[in-house]
Amino acid sequence: MNLISKRVSKYTKVETIESLPHICIVTATSNYIPIEEFKETFEYIGSLVTKEKITKLIFDKRNLKVFHQPSMEWYFVSWKEDMYYQGLTTHRKILPVDDIFMQSVKIGRQKIESSFPDGKYKQMDIQYASTLDEAIDH
C-alpha cells in the first residue's frame, strides 16, 4: 500500500492511499492534539474531501492518551455535518487499547447524542476497527 503524505504536523499526519484515492487517513502522532491543531487538521481534510472527492475517512487515534470532549463535539456536530453534504459519509476509527480512553469516548458520544439527536452523523457509516487494514477493508 503506497501512502501519499498530504500534511504533517507535530500532532497529526494526513495521508491518502494511491490505489484508493477516495480514502483519507488521519493519524494522531502525539498523545494529544490541541483543539486549534485538531480544527486546522480537519479543516484541511475538509478541503481534500471537496477537491479529491474523499468519501471515507480513517481516524487512527492509537497514539492518543488524552480525550478532549470539546474537540469531539466540534468534530461530530460541526465538521461531520459539513462533510456529510460534501459526500464524506464513511468513517472508521481506530482507538487506543486503553479502557479509560474507550470509556471516555463512549460517554462523550452519549452526551453528543443526547444534546444533538438529529445530527447528520447519525446517517453516516461510523464504525470502529482494530487495525488500519481492517479500517480500509470495511
For residue 111, give every residue at least 6 positions away whose Cβ sits within 8 Å of its Cβ, in sequence order, or none: 69, 73
Threshold 0.85, pTM exceeds:
yes
> Along the 138 residues of the chain, how does pLDDT read in single tens digits?
899 999 999 999 999 999 999 999 999 999 999 999 999 999 999 999 999 999 999 999 999 998 899 999 999 999 999 999 999 999 999 999 999 999 999 999 999 999 999 999 999 999 999 999 999 999
Query: What does the longest C-alpha to C-alpha distance in the chain come to?
Result: 40
Domain residues for the domain of 33 are 3-137
Question: Using CA atoms, how far apart are residues 102 and 20, in angstroms rounded to an integer?
Answer: 29
Question: How many domains in the chain?
Answer: 1
pLDDT at 16: 97
CB atoms within 10 A of CB 85: 9
Which CATH number fits the domain that encloses residue 10? 3.30.750.24
